Amino acid sequence: MNATQLALSAILLTALVLQALLPALRVLIVLCAAGLACLSSTLLGVGTTHQIMAEVPWDVLILLVALGLLSDIFAHSRLFGLLALHAARWSGARPAAVLLAFAGAMYLVSGLVNNLTALMLVLPILLNLLKLMGVHQRYLSWTLGVVLVACNLGGAATPIGDFPAILLLGSGRMTFAAYLVHAAPPTLFALLILLGIVTLWIRPQRGIDRDPLSARLSVQVMSKLYRNVRLDKRRFAPAAALLLCLLVLWTIVPSSSGVTADLLCWLGVGAVLLVNTHLGERLLRRHVDMEAVLFLLALFVMVAAVRRTGMFASIARQLGALPVSPSIQLVVFLCLAGIMTGIFSAGPSMAALLEVGHSLAQRLPPHAVYVGLALSVCAGSSLFLTAATSGPMAQALTERAELRGGDGEPLRFGFFEFLPAGLLSFSVIQTVALSYAWWNVR
């Protein structure tokens, strides 16, 4: 490793560690570090700021912003509230069924829209239902934990569900259809295994007596709370039609045509915002997730600077030089991806590791590398409550809900309450990722 590589890698790693240690200052930390990376890169002769900026995957940022806006339109159509209500009704407020219904619903929703928006609207309804049901700490911890993991799995199931998959779609290394075909089945498989283990073996519902009156009362109150809520078809219909069109176009229009996934998304979401004129303008002015955009932009800048030093190619070469078979090399890479994501969160890990992944994909089947990587990042995101953005949000919403157990003791959902679900989920998803990669490489 030469001095240039060392300096720019040190900036990237220091920023990653600091943002993990001080999440409240994470955007400020990575933005300052990105500026420093540009300066160092210029002074060390690696590349000017313009050259680095030209390597930023702007298409990913466009996809992220556009899909976020589309999620907001769905939120304004009241779709998520109704979905949660139907999940509550379908489950009949039976503890095991509530866990299954909400995890299943969030898996499906997270595959199509921004899971943060969906979670923000569904979680308060779930928390209300849990209050009505009178649950205990163990059930609360496992239910919320599994719902969060289902969001991560849903996000990894489709190319538009979450940032790592969007990055793959934007990079053009896998087509929309290819990713969907290869990633959806293993994520669903992982979810089913997880739900099976939790509901049949761990059984968090143990200790909550079967109480038909409590269940009926819970459903009646939920129905009353949402007595007049109807789907706003004016908002829902154009957004749903657009999403359907985009899914078709992403599948049939080749990226070689120049009409790329991000361009289709830009134009399509623009059209939906035009249909919802005033709401569209309001969303654009006030609801674009600038925090995510700035955070990822700063990461991309730092990664681009490190890439120009040849650092990632060097790591990939060292990985390739390991005296083991390529499939074992892939296993090592995926394990590293899972652990790094657990520590640094999905965005930074994926942005850095994808560069190494590209090198591996030249020697191994690309889908084995990329889908394996997306699954490993998903496993890492599920390890700790702090690894995914949705975790701290769920914690804050649960604290605000002031849940109490049967004896009146306050119920919590924090780092340690999530940990058992996180460890189990990490093990299950990482095992599925490794098995998937192994199966496709052998």
Partner 1 sequence: MSELPRGVEQAFGVAAAELGLCTAAWLFVRELAQAGGPLLVQKLRDSLGRTFPVLDAVAAQWLDGSSIPVIDPQAVVAACAGSKTVLVVGFEADFFDALLAQLAGVQFRLLRYSPFGVVDWERILTNYDERVGLTDLSDFQRWAGTRSVVLTFLYGAGDHSAHASPAWLRLVGEDVRAQFHSFIGWDVLRQPMYVYPRWLVEVPRSDFSVLA
Query: Rounded to the nearest whole angstrom, what is the least distance from the CB of residue 143 to partner 1 in the complex?
Result: 15
Q: Which is nearer to partner 1, 234 or 363 (CB)?
A: 234
Largest separation between any pair of C-alpha atoms in the chain? 73
237 Cβ contact partners less than 8 Å away, ≥ 6 residues apart:
none
Question: Tokens at residue 67, please?
Answer: 């899909």
Please count the other Cβ atoms lying within 10 Å of the Cβ belonging to residue 233: 10
Query: Position of tokens 């590589």?
Result: 5
Query: Rounded to the nearest whole angstrom, what is the least distance from the CB of residue 83 to partner 1 in the complex?
Result: 13
Q: Which is nearer to partner 1, 26 or 136 (CB)?
A: 136
Query: Rounded to the nearest whole angstrom, what is the least distance from the CB of residue 40 to partner 1 in the complex?
Result: 47
Query: Rounded to the nearest whole angstrom, what is the least distance from the CB of residue 154 to partner 1 in the complex?
Result: 23
Query: Rounded to the nearest whole angstrom, what is the least distance from the CB of residue 84 to partner 1 in the complex?
Result: 10
Give the span between the Cα atoms of 418 and 148, in whole angstroms.
10
Among residues 348, 357, 414, 352, the alpha carbon closest in space to that of 381 is found at 348
Query: Rounded to the nearest whole angstrom, what is the least distance from the CB of residue 128 to partner 1 in the complex?
Result: 6
Q: Which is nearer to partner 1, 26 or 76 (CB)?
A: 76
Phi, psi of 11 (to 5 degrees): -60, -45
Q: Which is nearer to partner 1, 324 or 402 (CB)?
A: 402
Q: Which is nearer to partner 1, 269 or 403 (CB)?
A: 403
Query: Rounded to the nearest whole angstrom, what is the least distance from the CB of residue 394 to partner 1 in the complex?
Result: 16
Give the span between the Cα atoms of 217 and 92, in whole angstroms.
10
Q: Which is nearer to partner 1, 105 or 174 (CB)?
A: 105
DSSP state of 113: S
Question: Tokens at residue 136, please?
Answer: 């205990």
- What are the start-end ranges of the E strands in 108-213? none
Query: Position of tokens 């990722």?
Result: 433
Q: Which is nearer to partner 1, 55 or 399 (CB)?
A: 399
Query: Rounded to the nearest whole angstrom, what is the least distance from the CB of residue 234 to partner 1 in the complex?
Result: 12
Q: Which residues bind partner 1 (CB under 8 A)?
A: 78, 81, 124, 128, 131-135, 208-209, 211-214, 216-218, 220-221, 224-229, 400-406
Q: Which is nearer to partner 1, 196 or 406 (CB)?
A: 406
Q: Are 74 and 108 in contact (CB under 8 A)?
A: no
Query: Rounded to the nearest whole angstrom, what is the least distance from the CB of residue 133 to partner 1 in the complex?
Result: 7
Phi, psi of 196 (to 5 degrees): -60, -50
Give the span between the Cα atoms of 258 and 241, in whole angstroms.
23
Question: Tokens at residue 25, please?
Answer: 């200052």
Orientation of helix 3-21 relative to helix 346-363, angle to 10°: 140
Q: Is 289 helix (H, G, I), strand (E, B) or coil?
A: coil
Q: Which is nearer to partner 1, 51 or 214 (CB)?
A: 214
Question: Tokens at residue 86, please?
Answer: 């139907």
Query: Rounded to the nearest whole angstrom, what is the least distance from the CB of residue 132 to partner 1 in the complex?
Result: 4
Q: Which helix (H) or strand (E) holds 311?
A: helix 311-320
Q: Which is nearer to partner 1, 122 or 303 (CB)?
A: 122
Among residues 142, 161, 164, the alpha carbon closest in space to that of 151 is found at 161
Query: Rounded to the nearest whole angstrom, what is the least distance from the CB of residue 142 to partner 1 in the complex?
Result: 18
Q: Which is nearer to partner 1, 9 or 77 (CB)?
A: 77
Q: Which helix (H) or strand (E) holds 303?
A: helix 290-308
Task: Give CA separation, 293 vs 57, 128, 155, 210, 243, in Å.
Answer: 12, 32, 18, 47, 22
Tell me the HSE value of 51 on the side-chain side, using a 13 A CA sphere: 14
